Amino acid sequence: MPEVFSPQILKLLVDSFVQTLYMVGIAGFIGTLIGLPLGVFLATSQRGELFAAPAVNAVLGLIVNAARSTPFIILVVAIIPLTRLITGTSIGTSAAIVPLTIASAPFIARVIEAAIRGVDQGLIEAARSMGASPFQIVQKVLLPEALPAITLALTLTVVSLIGYSAMVGAVGGGGLGDLGIRFGYQRFMPDVMLAVVLVLIVLVQGVQSLGDSLARRFDKRSRH
Amino acid sequence: MTDHISSGAASSEAIIQLRGVEKTFAARGANAPVTALHEINLDVPRGAILGVIGRSGAGKSTLIRLVNGLELPSSGSVRVDGVEISALEERALRQERRSIGMIFQHFNLLARRTAFGNVALPLEIAGVSKAEIRRRVLPLLDLVGLSDKVDRYPAELSGGQKQRVGIARALATNPKVLLSDEATSALDPETTEQILALLKQVNADLGVTVLLITHEMSVIKTVADRVAVIDEGRIVEEGATYDVFTGPQHATTRNFVSSITGTQLPEHLAMRLSATPEADKEALVQLVFKGEGAAQPWLSVLTRKLDADLGIVQAKVDHISGRPFGTLVVSLPDVAKLPALLVTSKELGLETEVLGYA
């Protein structure tokens, strides 16, 4: 126990926590920038849909599935050349953001697609009957109506990213996972490991609660 | 009462005109191509309320969607106010849809927008300024009787209130035509009456032509000036509602009409009914009164002229487009007077049918 409360360890814990937030935040943000439009397109481009392009839809779906079926740890190693190209290094927190982003974008695309598909088709028809363009339908109907589901989907994504970010610790990515492995496992300091796990639990719990409460606030379907 | 106003406002010029319309849906997988509509010809007079009635699967949903281009005809012509809908390119079609409002069976309101926000949506889509939207939306919500629900979300409204929002939304862009897709089918009878009254009011006050589809004859009876009966993708009968109700020609129409005016004899009588006169049996005669003959006090005239006693076995009287229409089954104990009854009834303008003796 005393090691955990030593100033050095405490500082390491705080630094790792910030690194984790940084990795998850940036990867989640960029992943959403890519995944959101991709998800919307996947949800609206099958035959007879707003942006009907069945062939493109099929190809993108295949790419997304391929990316999602690659085990994360293999992805991290496989894309080291790309990581080096983008960040100049393959080790450290910034380098870890590259595989995290690449893993999160297709994941986000799929959860957004599911959220958009949850919007009642009747609303699309109503908007079309008003003379809305496909872009207006996305902007004024699909995204706003799917917002509660999208919020829950992004919450799920962030929680998964926190898990992944702990995994990039194994390849020197920094963050809480890195701390846990180097101190808790390699130096055999179980109390550090315990502290890391506790912080992760609190973090995940916090993110989930925040996401749930936002989604509830956005959801106007139930009487309150 | 508003019937007279709306039928008066209806001119003979057709604002919606379908000519030789066919609609075939392409084959999907193992399913063969489906022809949903055959050779449809239909005129909706400007200012009228025309109801299309049919069973589910008869093609009425497809038909109404042709009018605002949500479906395009495989062949034939669909014109709205002189504009050939199927010839429009996408952008022009979107523009045209702003002059054709539509309401839906399940309302199709956005759950995350208030009543105000939902009515504002078509105006936002049309690029109307915020100030102008405010000026338009509040009077519309007032028109449909929801000025106290402006900031309510759909989940906080009843079915009837939701449809009122739907109507206000459909009227937001000042359309010439209002399409109603089974708008009252999800509502209870009382709310249905209220929504239909609102549609009549909108038709009379704003001069909006209404094309509605329904599977309920009561809706047609309450609100429509004209009716078209659709069966298996064909319009089998079309005309003024009163005429179609009182003199249905096609079997499908007769089916629908009997759901309203139907006079099936009660089972215990039907079982005793014989085709020839027998001792101790009374003659049962069905009298149908409509049009001119319906207005006079014919029942008392009949009994006085015949000097006979008449029993009433069954009666159904209805008012369609503000005119009475009814079916009466009477029993005549003095069978000898039957020929005289038939002759006198004809003179009074009644349709007669001897059902038998019971």
pLDDT averaged over every residue in chain B = 90
B112 interface with A at CB cutoff 8 Å: yes
Q: Nearest Cβ partner of A125 from B70, B125, B153?
A: B70
Question: Does A9 have pLDDT greater than 90?
Answer: no
Distance of alpha carbon A133 from alpha carbon A50, whole angstroms: 9
Question: Does A160 have pLDDT greater than 80?
Answer: yes
Q: Where do the structural domains in chain A lie, given as residue ranges?
A: 2-218
- B265 confidence band (pLDDT: 50, 70, 90): confident
Q: Residue B1 has what pLDDT? A: 37
Check residue B313 and report its DSSP letter.
Answer: E
Q: Nearest Cβ partner of A122 from B97, B101, B104?
A: B104
**Mean pLDDT, range B257-267, rounded to an integer:** 72
**CB-based contact A105:A164 (threshold 8 Å):** no
Q: Nearest Cβ partner of B125 from A123, A136, A218?
A: A136
pLDDT tens digits along A10-64:
888 899 999 999 999 999 999 999 999 999 999 999 998 999 999 999 999 999 9
Residue of B nearest to A127 (CA): B122
- B298 confidence band (pLDDT: 50, 70, 90): confident
Question: Does A100 have pLDDT greater than 70?
Answer: yes
Interface test with chain A among B67, B116, B153, by most A beta carbons within 10 Å = B153
Distance from CA of B324 to the nearest CA of A (A): 38
Question: Cβ contact (<8 Å) for A140 and B124?
Answer: yes
Topology of domain A2-218, per CATH? Answer: MetI-like fold (1.10.3720)
Q: Residue B67 has what pLDDT? A: 97
Q: Nearest Cβ partner of A220 from B70, B96, B111?
A: B111
pLDDT tens digits along B114-162:
999 999 999 999 999 999 999 999 999 999 999 999 999 999 999 999 9
Which residues 130-169 of A have a C-beta within 8 angstroms of B?
Answer: 130-133, 136, 140-141, 144-145, 147-148
- B6 confidence band (pLDDT: 50, 70, 90): very low
Question: Does B10 have pLDDT greater than 60?
Answer: no
Question: Cβ contact (<8 Å) for B102 and A129?
Answer: yes
Q: How far is C-alpha A142 from the geometric centre of its chain's CA atoms? A: 21
Q: Residue B32 has what pLDDT? A: 84
Q: Which amino acid is at B320?
A: I
Question: Does B89 have pLDDT greater than 60?
Answer: yes
A223 interface with B at CB cutoff 8 Å: yes
Q: What is the CA radius of gyration of chain B?
A: 24
B151 interface with A at CB cutoff 8 Å: no
Distance of alpha carbon B65 from alpha carbon B63, whole angstroms: 5
pLDDT tens digits along B182-201:
999 999 999 999 999 999 99
Tell me how crowded residue B326 is: count the other CB atoms within 10 A of its CB: 17
User: What percent of chain B has a predicted confidence (pLDDT) above 70?
Assistant: 95
Is residue B161 helix, strand or coil? helix
Residue of B nearest to A224 (CA): B156
A54 interface with B at CB cutoff 8 Å: no
Q: Residue A166 has what pLDDT? A: 84
Distance from CA of A223 to the nearest CA of B (A): 6
Q: Residue B2 has what pLDDT? A: 39
pLDDT tens digits along A163-217:
898 888 777 778 888 888 888 778 888 888 888 889 999 999 999 999 999 999 9
B154 interface with A at CB cutoff 8 Å: yes
- B12 confidence band (pLDDT: 50, 70, 90): low
Buried b (16+ CB within 10 A) or exposed e, B151-185: ebbbebbebbbbbbbbbbbbbbbebbbbbbbbbbe
Sheet holding B14-25, edge to edge: B34-45, B14-25, B75-80, B83-84
Q: What is the CA radius of gyration of chain A?
A: 20
Q: How far is C-alpha A170 from the geometric centre of its chain's CA atoms? A: 19
Question: Does B8 have pLDDT greater than 50?
Answer: no
**Mean pLDDT, range B74-88, rounded to an integer:** 95
Question: Does A4 have pLDDT greater than 60?
Answer: no
**Mean pLDDT, range A96-106, rounded to an integer:** 94
Q: Nearest Cβ partner of B125 from A120, A125, A131?
A: A131
Question: Does A5 have pLDDT greater than 60?
Answer: yes
**CB-based contact A179:A16 (threshold 8 Å):** yes
Distance from CA of B139 to the nearest CA of A (A): 19
Give the domains, in start order, of chain B with CATH numbers: 2-99+175-260 (3.40.50.300), 267-357 (3.30.70.260)
> Burial of B311 by CB count in 10 Å (0-12 exposed, 13-18 middle, 19+ buried)?
exposed
**Mean pLDDT, range B240-268, rounded to an integer:** 82
Question: Does B339 have pLDDT greater than 70?
Answer: yes
Range list of H helices, A45-189: 54-69, 72-78, 80-87, 93-117, 121-129, 134-137, 143-168, 175-179
For chain A, give the longest Cα–Cα distance.
69
Q: Nearest Cβ partner of B155 from A127, A144, A221?
A: A221
User: What percent of chain B has a predicted confidence (pLDDT) above 90?
Assistant: 59
User: What percent of chain A has a predicted confidence (pLDDT) above 90?
Assistant: 65
Q: Residue B102 has what pLDDT? A: 98
**CB-based contact A116:A146 (threshold 8 Å):** yes
